[in-house]
Amino acid sequence: APGPPPPLQPSPLPVFSDEGFGDKFLRKTRENPLVPLGCLCTVGVLTYGLISFKRGNVRQSQLMMRARVLAQGFTFAALLGGMVVTAMKSR
C-alpha cells in the first residue's frame, strides 16, 4: 500500500503594489484621457459663466451655463465609453 498523500502546498497569494493617489490618477488618465479633458472643459465653462454673471452680462452667462451642460454631457459620455471599453478588454 502506498504511503500517505503528500502535504498540500498553499498557493502563493497575489502581490498588489501600493498605488498612491497620484499614480492611480495618472494611470486612469492614460486609460481614458477624455474624462479629465471633459472635467477641465466643464470647470472652465462654469468659471467663465460665473464671471460673466458677476459682471452683469446675463446673455453670455446663460450661454455659458448651457455650454456647461453640454460639457457635462460629454464628460458623462466619455466616462460611460471608457467603462464599456474596459469591460470589453477584460473579456
The reply to whether 85 falls in a domain is yes
What are the tens digits of pLDDT across the range 14-33? 777 788 899 989 988 998 89
The reply to whether 8 falls in a domain is no
Domain hosting 69: range is: 32-90
DSSP assignment string, 30-88: HH-THHHHHHHHHHHHHHHHHHHHHHT-HHHHHHHHHHHHHHHHHHHHHHHHHHHHHHH
Q: What mean pLDDT is reported for the chain?
A: 90
The reply to whether 68 falls in a domain is yes
Q: If pLDDT is split at 50, 70 and 90, which confidence band does 90 have?
A: confident
Structurally, how many domains does the chain consist of? 1
